[in-house]
Amino acid sequence: MKQATGAARGFWQLSGFVLAAGLLCTIPVPTQAALPWQAADGQGVPSLAPLLEKISPAVVNIATHGTTEVRNPLADNPMFEDPFFRRFFGVPDGPQTQETQSLGSGVIVDARKGYILTNAHVIKGADEIKVNLIDEREFTAKVIGADEETDVALIQIDAKNLTELPLADSDKTRPGDFVVAIGNPFGLRHTVTSGIVSATGRSGIGDPDSFQDYIQTDASINPGNSGGGLVNFQGELIGLNSAILSRSGGNIGIGFAIPSNIARQVMQQLIQYGQVKRGRLGVVVQNITPDLAKAFGLSSNSGVLVAQVQPGSAADKAGVKPEDVILSINGRAVQNYRELRNTIGLLRVGDKLTLEILRGGKRQVINTSVGEVIETQQAASKSVANPKLEGAQFATAEEGSGVEVSDLKPQSPAARNGLRPGDVITAVNRRPVRSVDEFQRAVKGQETLLLTLNRGPGSLFLVIK
């Protein structure tokens, strides 16, 4: 078929526009009573003003003042150990300090007790914290506690006639839900933006060791919004605005909030202990890839695979074993390592746990409790000789506990297949190996290798095809 002429193309585009407009005209418009955010002016104009008038008094401005140590780079020069040279070049004696200031936001969550949730990074290093309310009242706040791993902090003011926001069940939040973000971006007090929840369960933002289960939103969040509220259209707090993804430092429509359920759990511990007493189950796990699922005969990628059980841990005492697949904790499905880490890490030491596991293709239920953090030496690991492992050299690990990757050439087949220097391989295709000789025999002629190895402080499975 020949291409349509410009006029014809214009006709079809216009026709499409008319058709689309006609379809839009047939969409039923909800009545005023069906819109909880409708303006009460009798004009039928949709507005968020009634909602904002209700929730804005619960969002506060936080200004902090502190000091930080500043080190003169000349002070590291041995020549300036002489007081004469220090005076001559104007290098002051001893450490120097400078004043710091920061602005952020917070949300009142208990009006009677004056509790305010905010971000830990907002009040970090603060010597003085001032809280300003929407009615222009100002109070000095005290810190109840802060948890940098979740970036949640709790402060308190002594004030009356406060407004609080109820905490929603953030697990019920869905992509597409309408939300508003309230805070003080760039010092512009009580700025409100609106948008939707773009995604839930976001992780890998910033510090990889922090507990992350962010709600992503396109409601505009900028510097100064930190600690402010992400609120649903029922007037409930679903998250604390915490971070943005941006090359310029300004908003590009990708912002992140800490879910209210995480904030609630942290707040409860901060009130009780002044800190978060984080427990451990005592397992090293990894996400189940399609290759691992096939190697272990699993029907799906659901759950997390136990690679190692820490001796003396809660998991060890409860009978959890390597190669178990943890499917759920306390009835809540676990899809990946981060979900397991968040669930366990936000529970108190001693809290009861019901684990649903898959062992040998059969489901089992194990009852245990959150244990305390214990220190132990990690076992050694292994490596192999096979065309897929070329470029790696192996040595028997200490006490015959496996085979260590003693050397590895960059970009070699072994490196491309996932081995790292220092890896200690303890089993090949689920059979233990204690020496290089055993390892060589185990990998010889194998098309697919399932390696059980220790890397750093943990263990994992590596499939090489």
Label the pairing between strands 96-110 and 126-132: unpaired
Listed in sequence order, the residues at least 6 apart from 347 whose beta carbon sits closer than 8 Å to its beta carbon are 265, 279, 353, 370
Dist CA 208 CA 210 (whole Å): 6
Cβ atoms of 455 and 422 within 8 Å: the answer is yes
Dist CA 306 CA 322 (whole Å): 5
Burial label for 333, CB within 10 Å (0-12, 13-18, 19+), is exposed
Active site residue 135: no
User: In angstroms, how far apart are the furthest CA atoms of the chain?
Assistant: 90
Q: In whole angstroms, how far apart are CA 77 and each of 68, 87, 92, 149?
A: 22, 14, 13, 36
Q: Catalytic: which of 102, 105, 147, 151?
A: 151
> Cα 365 to chain center, whole Å?
28
Active site residue 190: no
Tokens of 271: 């009130």
> Cα 419 to chain center, whole Å?
27
At 358, phi and psi to the nearest 5?
A: -115, 120
Q: Catalytic: which of 56, 65, 121, 412?
A: 121
Dist CA 83 CA 291 (whole Å): 66
Listed in sequence order, the residues at least 6 apart from 187 whose beta carbon sits closer than 8 Å to its beta carbon are 103, 224
For residue 342, which of 383, 307, 304, 398 has the smallest C-alpha distance? 304
Dist CA 297 CA 449 (whole Å): 14
Active site residue 56: no
Dist CA 122 CA 106 (whole Å): 9
Tokens of 48: 């968020």
Dist CA 274 CA 271 (whole Å): 6
Assign 3-class secondary structure to 192-258.
Answer: EEEEEEEEEEECCCCCCCCCCCEEEECCCCCCCCCCCEEEECCCCEEEEEEEECCCCCCCCCCEEEE
Cβ atoms of 147 and 207 within 8 Å: the answer is no
For residue 387, which of 307, 448, 313 has the smallest C-alpha distance? 448
Q: In whole angstroms, how far apart are CA 123 and each of 30, 81, 153, 244?
A: 44, 36, 8, 18
Q: Catalytic: which of 102, 194, 220, 226?
A: 226
Catalytic residues: 121, 151, 226
